[in-house]
Amino acid sequence: MGDVLEVDLKKYINQGTKVVANIPYYITSPIINKIIENKDLIDEAYIMVQKEVGERICAKSGKERGILTLAVEYYGEAEYLFTIPREFFILYLMLILLLFQ
């Protein structure tokens, strides 16, 4: 399929699609904008984002609100569901040794 930001989603998804994704911090806004652009096909999107980003998207008032907050509000609604504890995101490094004879 390829890079979600480059692919024409209309070729791959049907009306009523539900999106479930863990979005990397550095492309959160472009991916959410892509979801909004395809809102005619996407019924719901359950996305996991960095806590601070989620707080901004769901902000009701104040300086935390931004353009992404306004876009989400205009085209739909955002709802905070739950926080996943930090300990679930500990990275384990693994060293693999390959021997060739």
Residue numbers in the known binding site for S-adenosyl-L-methionine are: 1, 3, 22
Residues of each annotated binding site:
1, 3, 22
DSSP letter for 85, please: P
Q: How many Å apart are CA 60 and CA 101, to the nearest integer? A: 63
End-to-end, the C-alpha distance of the chain in Å comes to: 37
- 2 dihedral zone (left: phi>0; alpha: psi -120 to 50; beta): left
Read off the tokens for 27: 């492309």
Exposure of 100 in the CB half-sphere (CA atoms within 13 A): 0
